[in-house]
Homo-oligomer: A and B are copies of this chain.
Amino acid sequence: MDDKVSGNLLIIGGNEDKQGDCLILRKFVKMAGGRQAKIAVITTATERPREVGDEYRSIFLDLGAESVDILCVADRAAANDRHRSVEIETSTGVFFTGGDQLRITSILGGSNIDRAIRRAYQRRAVIAGTSAGASVMSDTMIINGESSDTAKKSNLSMAHGIGLLEQVVIDQHFAQRGRINRLLAAVALNPYVIGMGIDEDTAIAVSDNAVCEVVGSQTVTVIDGKNIMFTNISESQPNDPLAISNVLIHILPTGYAFDLKRRQPYLCE
């Protein structure tokens, strides 16, 4: 690889720049090896796989990647077809497009392709995802929950994600869709978990030592519930408004990072 690798997860809040400087997608190609990058794009989340796949292929090739393969895996038979995982086995970067996160997990979960992605991650290929492809990165993911509404337990439904990033719950299109209250509810359910709300055209690059570096034009909102003093989330009814006290929030633009192990934000050097 001709470029320094700063980590092997890139989690994007959706609607990343595809026409201008393409900072985030450029970062992905760089992390995947630059001119040696062999990229597999997984379009399972979207219902327009050809169109979306072709767009990313053309961008990644323009940004200097060596090869780009589009994996249009739309059902479990395809997900278990041994021939379909070859491009993942040889890839240096895997990219999940946006769409519906439940399509990714319900179609790929436990399949041959799922195992190939985990092996790729283990051998330090970069795994990236945008929007729905971002949500699936954590062990438990948000699949539904009203935006711009008062915090309530019923606002939220969650499911198993792919689980490459533990102890975190990701939300995307974050400021743009007013999603803070659903992410607060997710953190209140178990304050061990750190909420990461990623705005559009913004991403976190996660390094081996669990440092999340912010990239892109907007911000990442980190929600840390470690000091919560009280919450009514266990005894409240689904439509009752939530009570939660002493939640810590950090708003971080590019140039800042969050250390998941120390639960600490900081300005990068």
Contacts and interface: CB of A to CB of B under 8 A. Distances in A.
Interface of A: 147-151, 175-178, 180-181, 184, 199, 202, 217-219, 229-230, 232, 240-256, 265, 267
A241 to B, nearest CB: 4
Copies held by the complex: 2
A64 B150 CA distance: 31
Nearest to A173: B148
25 contacts: A147-B178, A148-B175, A150-B202, A151-B251, A175-B178, A180-B180, A184-B251, A199-B241, A217-B241, A219-B241, A219-B242, A230-B265, A230-B267, A232-B253, A240-B253, A241-B254, A242-B251, A243-B253, A243-B256, A243-B267, A244-B249, A244-B251, A246-B248, A246-B265, A248-B248
Contact of A251 (B177, B229, B243, B255): B243
A217 B242 CA distance: 11
Contacts of A245: 250-252, 265
A50 to B, nearest CB: 32
Given A219-B242, A246-B250, A251-B242, A175 B199 contact: no
Contacts of A241: 199, 217-219, 251, 253-254
